[in-house]
């Protein structure tokens, strides 16, 4: 029966048909079937063109098959709800023809498009089923626009074989599997959103997958995964909060991402493995819990103009035989080393900026190959560029700033090249070449380093050419034991240590170099060293050359100007001249005079020639006249009696008792420790226990070096200066700071312990510092604990003793303290703040100095006033009015009246 324009369906009441199937059978080709509100329990099979439109809320509940099956024709459905028979069954199927769903709700089963079928969905929802919610197979085509896929147990969309899917402005959410699973076929996603899914987009087929715009967020696993031979093209897409990797690829997959944002991934931002290729352009990878970019196995990654920031692990990690190339990228704020290469990986960074990491900026290890060209490495807590294992590198034109060490080359059997780089503001060493390494450093600048500019360690065969080293906190260029470098056209200027330090056994050539403005000696040549220096120039330094006694350097056409103490060997005909001057007395090595060492005998020659008994009596008198120090004096007296007994036994031919002469002086600052140490050494000399009894003062800065292999020689040098006398180490606990077990101070301690054993009868070592710190210090090394068995305690001065110190100072400078002044001073010292940093005797001496300054001001005001004639008594008498204010208080002394 022909129905003209259309048919109407109503389950009850007015209508031509009670079922939709009946109306469709009766409808003409292309007719419209209008369905009134209600629930229709039937399964529709349609094989010709028809349009079904809902008039109100219309729901079709499937019977035994799908709610709707399209086999042919163009079928348009508007505003219907289609419910399948079971959640894991099929709600709507298209095996041929075209199905156009607009604003429809499909639930209780999936939408299947297969064979040559086509499905177009506009608006509406696919939900409440066991996935996939949409399955496209065979040669089918599906196009979704503005559709929502949600609440699916399994994948949201599954594409297989040669099917094709196009998604525009769709939302896929609350899906336990992959939002889009590509088992084959092709897919295009434009401005889509995927949220709260087990994984985002998973592609394992052969066809291309294109993603334009849109966002993936709150994904349990990987955001996008490509495997097998998949080809993915991603543009302007955001991936936020993925529990796994942002983008992961393996197999022979190819992934290209342009302008994408990848943020807050639980694993890597981008993970490429097993032969895949990933290309990133203008992408941003931030806040990955593990590493930003990971390339492993035989994968390749290329990145241009990208940013990798705030990675919990490495910014970029490459291993196995992987390859990566980064151009114009920024890698910053990494939790571990910013760029790490291991195994046999190849990494290239072109014009990249690497900054802000607590570890290395760039590290290559194992058999990796690193190439850096241009760009910068900044703010690396450890080393800016670190090589170890059998890694090799070529580094050109890189700017390095604010790092612990600029370059550190370790254990490599290759010949790394560093060329045209600028290294500045470095905490320790600018360039450090480890033992047996052979790097080439050319056309580089090293400036403002905390320690040395360049250090070439034991047996290194480095080549340094056309470099500038300036403003180093230590020595400029350090060549360590047995190294044989070739150094040409290097300028060293304004270094606080030596310009060029050549340690024991070094050889090699130094040509056309310039050293100027260094605080230490310009060139130091250590024991057994045999270097050749040609056409070198030294200017504007305190001393040009210092050569150890058994060193044999050769100088040819070298010259020095503006030098206070010139010892550089020269020959007017320019011939090679052997150099070997004796080290001047009192000079330590390296670097010229020891600043602030305090070395010296402490008494003049006439005193030394006095009768030993008289000399001893005089020294004991000086000790007894010291203010306070009752316990320390008593202990020294006991030690003197013991030493006398030892001396008498030796003179009688008896063996001396076991005795450790080394002492711990425990006391706060200014309690006379250095003064007593100096007297103690002279007392031992008067007893014949020590040869001279002179005192050599040292501290951590004297003993601990700037780089590996520097500490032991410094400690040995200080110890040698003290032979025959006393080595006094103030604040000795600084050699073993808390929590720094690998500190160079431990090397100084070990060296000291051995020297104390080797020279047990030639020197006395006194370690001094705060009482609680010294107890900890002697326990850090068993050798210390066995050698420092006696501690002398230096008590803080009482107020009365501090008054006596001021009185002694005043008498020495022809001032007088009146009785009221002494009383005021006692009150002043009682009120003074004795917290941390209180200086005891130093505090008393400072008070005396301030009193003399206030006294001078007071007398000047009297003279200016002209009211009183100033006499000698007034010029020499200090009154209570001359006292300064109390430290830590606000009241002056004495009170008015």
**Does residue 330 lie within any of the structural domains?**
no
Percentage of the chain surpassing pLDDT 90?
55
Q: Looking at the structure, tell me whether residues 704 and 755 fall in a common domain.
A: yes
Contact 555, 465 (CB under 8 A): no
pLDDT(897) > 60: no
Read off the pLDDT band of 650 (50, 70, 90). Answer: low
CA distance linking residue 410 with residue 84, whole number of Å: 68
Q: Looking at the structure, tell me whether residues 651 and 636 fall in a common domain.
A: yes
The least confident of 303-317, 507-521, 641-655 is: 641-655
pLDDT(871) > 80: no
Identify the pLDDT of residue 309: 97
Residue 585: partners with Cβ closer than 8 Å, 6 or more residues away: none
Helical ranges in 165-214 per DSSP H: none
pLDDT(14) > 90: no
Per-residue pLDDT tens digits for 756-789: 888 877 889 999 888 888 888 888 777 787 788 8
CA angle in degrees (0–180, nearest 5) for 151-156-157: 155
Q: Looking at the structure, tell me whether residues 700 and 617 fall in a common domain.
A: yes
What is the pTM assigned to this prediction? Answer: 0.66
Q: Which of 762, 794, 826 is the last residue before a domain boundary? A: 794
pLDDT(631) > 60: yes
CA distance linking residue 380 with residue 403, whole number of Å: 5
Identify the pLDDT of residue 653: 62
Per-residue pLDDT tens digits for 30-85: 999 999 999 999 999 999 999 999 999 999 999 888 999 999 999 999 999 999 98
CA angle in degrees (0–180, nearest 5) for 835-837-841: 100
Identify the pLDDT of residue 761: 78
Per-residue pLDDT tens digits for 875-888: 778 888 888 865 44
Q: Looking at the structure, tell me whether residues 739 and 784 fall in a common domain.
A: yes
Q: Which segment, 159-168, 561-570, 821-830, is predicted with the most confidence on average?
A: 159-168
Per-residue pLDDT tens digits for 656-700: 666 667 888 888 888 888 888 888 888 888 888 888 889 888 888
**Does residue 416 lie within any of the structural domains?**
no
Q: Looking at the structure, tell me whether residues 763 and 813 fall in a common domain.
A: no
Structure tokens at 606: 């006439």
Which residues form the domain of 743? 605-794
Identify the pLDDT of residue 738: 65
CATH number at residue 623: 3.40.50.300
Identify the pLDDT of residue 571: 64
- CA torsion sign, 832 to 837 to 840 to 846? negative
Q: Looking at the structure, tell me whether residues 771 and 629 fall in a common domain.
A: yes
**Does residue 421 lie within any of the structural domains?**
no
Q: Looking at the structure, tell me whether residues 622 and 680 fall in a common domain.
A: yes
Q: Supply the DSSP symbol for 627.
A: S
Q: Looking at the structure, tell me whether residues 845 and 723 fall in a common domain.
A: no
**Does residue 251 lie within any of the structural domains?**
no
Count of domains in the chain?
Answer: 2
Contact 171, 149 (CB under 8 A): yes
Identify the pLDDT of residue 13: 61
Identify the pLDDT of residue 867: 59
pLDDT average, residue stretch 251-262: 95
pLDDT average, residue stretch 506-520: 93
Identify the pLDDT of residue 530: 92
Contact 828, 886 (CB under 8 A): yes
pLDDT average, residue stretch 110-134: 95
Q: By C-alpha distance, which of 544, 625, 639 is closest to 592?
A: 544
> How many CB atoms sit inside 10 A of residue 463's CB?
18
**Does residue 681 lie within any of the structural domains?**
yes
CATH number at residue 839: 1.10.8.60
Helical (H) or strand (E) element with 635: helix 630-651
Per-residue pLDDT tens digits for 460-471: 999 999 999 999
Q: Which of 745, 777, 794 is the last residue before a domain boundary? A: 794
3-state SS class at 745: helix
Per-residue pLDDT tens digits for 294-328: 999 999 999 999 999 999 999 999 999 999 999 99
Identify the pLDDT of residue 86: 87
CA distance linking residue 340 with residue 613, whole number of Å: 71
Per-residue pLDDT tens digits for 335-387: 999 999 999 999 999 999 999 999 999 999 999 999 999 999 999 999 999 99
CA distance linking residue 189 with residue 337, whole number of Å: 36
Q: By C-alpha distance, which of 89, 94, 95, 125 is closest to 109?
A: 89
Helical (H) or strand (E) element with 41: strand 32-41
Instruction: For the chain, give the mean pLDDT.
Output: 86
**Class of residue 190 by CB neighbours under 10 A (exposed 0-12, middle 13-18, buried 19+):** middle
- CA torsion sign, 458 to 461 to 462 to 465? positive
Q: Looking at the structure, tell me whether residues 642 and 677 fall in a common domain.
A: yes
Identify the pLDDT of residue 893: 37
pLDDT(602) > 70: no
pLDDT(450) > 70: yes
Q: 459 φ, ψ to 5°?
A: 60, 20
Q: Looking at the structure, tell me whether residues 628 and 701 fall in a common domain.
A: yes
**Does residue 337 lie within any of the structural domains?**
no
Contact 568, 560 (CB under 8 A): yes
Q: Looking at the structure, tell me whether residues 727 and 669 fall in a common domain.
A: yes
**Does residue 862 lie within any of the structural domains?**
yes
Read off the pLDDT band of 181 (50, 70, 90). Answer: very high
Percentage of the chain surpassing pLDDT 70?
89
Q: Looking at the structure, tell me whether residues 705 and 806 fall in a common domain.
A: no
pLDDT average, residue stretch 586-594: 31
**Does residue 312 lie within any of the structural domains?**
no
Q: Which of 794, 822, 850 is the last residue before a domain boundary? A: 794
């Amino acid at each position: 029966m022909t129905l003209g324009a259309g048919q109407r369906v109503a389950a009850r009441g007015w209508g031509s048909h009670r079922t939709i199937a009946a109306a469709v059978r009766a409808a003409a080709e292309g007719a419209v079937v209008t369905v009134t509100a209600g629930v229709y329990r039937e399964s529709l099979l349609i094989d010709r063109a028809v349009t079904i439109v809902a008039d109100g809320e219309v729901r079709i509940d499937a019977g035994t098959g799908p709610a709707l099956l399209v086999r042919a024709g163009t079928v348009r459905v508007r505003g219907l709800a289609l419910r399948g028979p079971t959640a894991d069954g099929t709600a709507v199927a298209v095996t041929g023809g075209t199905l156009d769903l607009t604003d429809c709700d499909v639930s209780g089963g999936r939408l299947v498009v297969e064979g040559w079928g086509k499905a177009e969905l506009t608006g509406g929802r696919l939900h409440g089923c066991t996935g996939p919610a949409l399955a496209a197979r065979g040669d089918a085509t599906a196009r979704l626009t503005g559709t929502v896929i949600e609440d699916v147990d399994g994948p949201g969309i599954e594409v297989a074989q040669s099917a094709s899917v196009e998604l525009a402005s769709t939302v896929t959410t609350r899906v336990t599997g992959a939002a889009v699973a590509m088992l084959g076929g092709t897919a295009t996603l434009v401005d889509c959103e995927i949220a709260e899914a087990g994984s985002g987009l998973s592609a394992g087929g052969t066809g291309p997958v294109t993603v334009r715009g849109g966002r993936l967020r709150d994904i349990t696993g990987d955001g996008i995964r490509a495997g097998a031979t998949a080809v993915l093209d991603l543009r302007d897409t955001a991936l936020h909060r993925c529990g796994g990797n942002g983008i992961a690829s393996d197999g022979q997959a190819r992934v290209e991402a342009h302008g994408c944002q990848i943020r807050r991934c639980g694993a890597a931002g981008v993970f490429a493995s097993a032969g895949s290729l990933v290309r990133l352009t203008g992408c941003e990878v931030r806040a990955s819990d593990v590493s930003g970019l990971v390339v492993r196995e035989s994968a390749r990654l290329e990145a241009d103009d990208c940013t990798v920031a705030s990675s919990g692990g490495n910014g970029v990690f490459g291993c196995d035989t992987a390859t990566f190339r980064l151009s114009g990228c920024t890698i910053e704020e990494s939790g571990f080393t910013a760029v790490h290469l291991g195994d046999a990986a190849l990494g290239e960074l072109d014009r990249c900026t690497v900054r802000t990491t607590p570890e290395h900026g760039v590290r290559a290890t194992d058999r990796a190959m690193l190439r850096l060209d241009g760009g910068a490495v900044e703010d690396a807590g450890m080393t800016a560029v670190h090589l170890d294992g059998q890694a090799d590198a070529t580094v050109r034109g890189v700017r390095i700033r604010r790092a612990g060490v600029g370059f550190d080359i370790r254990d490599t059997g290759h010949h790394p090249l560093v060329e045209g780089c600028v290294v500045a503001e470095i905490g320790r060493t600018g360039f450090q070449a480890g033992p047996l390494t052979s790097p080439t450093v050319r056309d580089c600048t090293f400036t403002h380093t905390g320690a040395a500019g360049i250090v070439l360690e034991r047996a290194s065969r480095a080549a340094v050419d056309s470099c500038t080293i300036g403003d180093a906190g230590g020595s400029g260029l350090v060549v360590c034991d047995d190294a044989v470098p070739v150094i040409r056209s290097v300028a060293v200027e304004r270094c606080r240590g030596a310009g060029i330090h050549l340690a024991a056994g070094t050889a090699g050539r130094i040509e056309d170099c310039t050293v100027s403005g260094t605080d230490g000696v310009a060139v130091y040549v250590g024991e057994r060293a045999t270097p050749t220096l040609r056409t070198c120039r030294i200017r504007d330094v305190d001393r040009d050359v210092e050569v150890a006694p058994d060193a044999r350097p050769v100088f040819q056409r070298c010259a020095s100007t503006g030098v206070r103490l010139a010892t550089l060997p020269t020959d007017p005909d320019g011939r090679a001249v052997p150099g070997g001057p004796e080290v001047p007395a009192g000079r330590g090595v390296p670097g010229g005079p020891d600043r602030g060492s305090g070395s010296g005998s402490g008494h003049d020659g006439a005193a030394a020639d006095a009768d030993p008994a008289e000399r001893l009596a005089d020294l004991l008198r000086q000790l007894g006249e010291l203010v306070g120090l009752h316990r320390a004096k008593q202990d020294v007296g006991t030690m003197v009696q013991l030493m006398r007994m030892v001396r008498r036994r030796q003179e009688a031919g008896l063996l001396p008792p076991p005795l450790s002469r080394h002492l711990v002086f425990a006391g706060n600052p200014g309690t006379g420790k250095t003064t007593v140490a100096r007297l103690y050494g002279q007392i031992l000399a008067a007893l014949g226990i020590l040869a001279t009894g002179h005192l050599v003062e040292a501290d951590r800065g004297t003993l601990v070096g700037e780089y590996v292999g520097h500490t032991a020689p410094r400690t040995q040098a200080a110890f040698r200066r003290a032979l025959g006398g006393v080595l006094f180490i103030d604040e000795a606990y600084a050699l073993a700071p808390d929590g720094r077990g690998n500190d160079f101070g431990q090397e100084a301690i070990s060296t000291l312990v051995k020297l104390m054993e080797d020279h047990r009868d030639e020197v006395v070592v006194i370690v001094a510092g705060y009482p609680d710190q010294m107890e900890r210090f002697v326990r850090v090394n068993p050798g210390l604990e066995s050698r420092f068995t006696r501690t002398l305690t230096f008590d803080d001065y009482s107020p009365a003793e501090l008054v006596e110190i001021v009185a002694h100072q005043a008498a020495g400078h022809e001032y007088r303290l009146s009785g009221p002044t002494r009383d005021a001073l006692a009150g002043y010292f009682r009120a003074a703040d004795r917290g941390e940093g209180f200086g005891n005797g130093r505090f008393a001496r400072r008070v005396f100095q301030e009193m003399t300054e206030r006294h001078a001001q007071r007398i000047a005001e009297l003279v200016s006033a002209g009211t009183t004639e100033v006499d000698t008594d007034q010029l020499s008498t200090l009154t209570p009015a001359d006292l300064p204010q109390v430290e830590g208080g606000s009241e002056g002394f004495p009170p008015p009246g």
